[in-house]
Structure 1
């Protein structure tokens, strides 16, 4: 693994926008000189290195599924701040093995040792368009003879074909709260992969999903019953909304992507449970729910935090924190290891899982200790 300078393509801004990255300006803080999509640099991997990372990712995913079983069997959903009324339905969703499509691991990796799990974005993973599409076309334009860890698109199409979906259109729902356009473009891309798999689809805003009181079903603006709903609206938000009990009660009659049981994987309490189950595992960092214990350097993460908000890094040299409204739900205390330094920039590897298989890689860089919404996405290749 090495970081290498690149020459940006002429008119790259228009190119990436035409490929679906229409939000590369709006989703990035305007005061930053560095663009969100930065093809002025990229990372280079060896094939053996990527094959080994694929193995590690699939092992982590299998461990996470074992952790879901452990949490449910031992009655520990309360550690994940899941409301008591929703816990039986989370368990039922898992027992049915309600189908899942995709997720993204965030990993610390320096090219020398095992990757370390930082978190699992298993319910509402983003950076999908840039990982699957935009960096692939960059590779074809700039390094056509090289390869890339990227079978995301093909695996998504195949995964939609595998799902036992009910008849009728599959609905893809964004929320009007997203002013950047990232959520709409991500769901639009997912909808495209579903259509390539042969599904009939429809787009709808979450705010426009209605309730048919007679049929006791969710409907769209044309009063069509919604039988499959793919969303990026987090389950922890949904269960707290007025329609939450209805959504939870509809688990049997609808297919939700992602399913309700993914609440247990998208929650950072998972990190502590994994460390309990697999202490000393080379892909894990020590993590606890009751405090930092004997960790001299640790990071305090809200269980439901997003984009690096509300975190606190504590080291013998001092404390750094980020602003955010998360944390009322509780925290996890994870050993802190600085992200590796490549020319003053620190990458986080976003390793994608589709179904139960490793599918590709996206890389975000930051100059600080915490990867937040100021990070930039950079492409990669396999030499």
Structure 2
């Protein structure tokens, strides 16, 4: 099966959930016998010299990267708002990227066109003109829902109004775009349900995020207990959640456990945190080795109050046998049981109680971690997931061919 995979960023370095989700799937499909050609936007925000991508991956995917500037521009954002068009989407459109897709489709034939996220959907019209292959959207999130939840948590009225506007425009676009595809893949049953509520008529299947478990070998528990958070710190839901945790939960935890430290890592850390001095808190910024960072610390903290899709860092933490304490939104869509393989906390009192129980009862903390690893082994193995996905693609191809024959017979 020959697949053209279109991405809104290069999947390297593998330092955020989106990049890991893309690269892991690509390698899983190739290992299952598919031929994958990847074309990715190389944005200023996530710019990576293509020479930094592993040679094996570049060669196997015949990787091409198109430079793009998707940064938010105030004037364009205002004009889009007045024109009632989603700026979240329009800033990912580029004539250069469109021309690259068209030139490839003129030269090659593919069995599947795979779009990694909603922001590739503006190119569907051009894909249809030059390819008869089914177009499959891999929806990493229900995008409008992220902005809707951010607006709900925003205290400042003017900003809340603006975020609500963005969410409304994005929902209108997303509701139309999902019906332009031949098939949709989502990470969670929750997202599948949300798409149905939006009026999606396109076939939707759930394929959880998968990992290669050989790359996630648990390490012995650290001698000194600590908390940690790792995630993109230029993503608003992460920043919002971390600010809440530091303001409402951390002081109580640090007072009860003065020897415990809280380690925060992630790219593009806000400037106000770089020189911040909060007792017991260590701001690392972007770390060289995310896996090693997670192995070094005891408890993963995920205070997320907005978002959609699946929190890939939680799956990684569980694979490394780390007890995860997260809000319900953070755990949304993950196959897990509160008190068995994860710990849910939605208030600062619940975060404190969860941390206290883990540090007071080592056996409980270890049991949560061991069960978390078993859950990932059972449900998030990329080998079986990519095989199921190929069968879904085959069904899309058969359906497309049947429709074409029926149309020709009329």
> Under TM normalisation by the shorter chain, which class is it?
under 0.3
Structure with the bigger percentage of strand = 1
Please, what TM-score do these two structures have when normalized by structure 2? Answer: 0.27
Larger radius of gyration, structure 1 or 2?
2
Higher relative contact order (CA 8 A, sep 6+): 1
